[in-house]
């Protein structure tokens, strides 16, 4: 082997247990003292839910 590597390389790393436990949840977001609009945006990012629908749902809580 000559050590002249060409092309694309992909490295796949799985999340460790400590990283998986540190993920933020909807409950964590709702406990923050931030505007409902910002909460809706954050929750929509982690759930894939439409931001407007998420905002409406939060207003009904």
User: pLDDT tens digits for 8-43?
Assistant: 877 777 766 554 555 888 999 999 999 999 999 999
Residues in the chain: 61
| pLDDT on residue 21 | 55
CA distance 30 to 11: 35
Domain boundaries, given as residue ranges, for the chain: 24-59
Model confidence, pTM: 0.62
Q: Does 1 score more than 60 pLDDT?
A: no
With 0-12 CB in 10 A as exposed, 13-18 as middle and 19+ as buried, what is 44?
Answer: middle
């Amino acid at each position: 082997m000559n050590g002249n590597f060409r092309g694309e390389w992909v490295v796949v790393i799985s999340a460790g247990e400590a990283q998986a436990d540190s993920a933020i949840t909807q409950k964590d977001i709702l406990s923050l003292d931030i505007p409902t609009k910002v909460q809706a945006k954050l929750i929509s990012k982690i759930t894939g839910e439409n931001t407007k629908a998420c905002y409406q749902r939060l207003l009904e809580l």
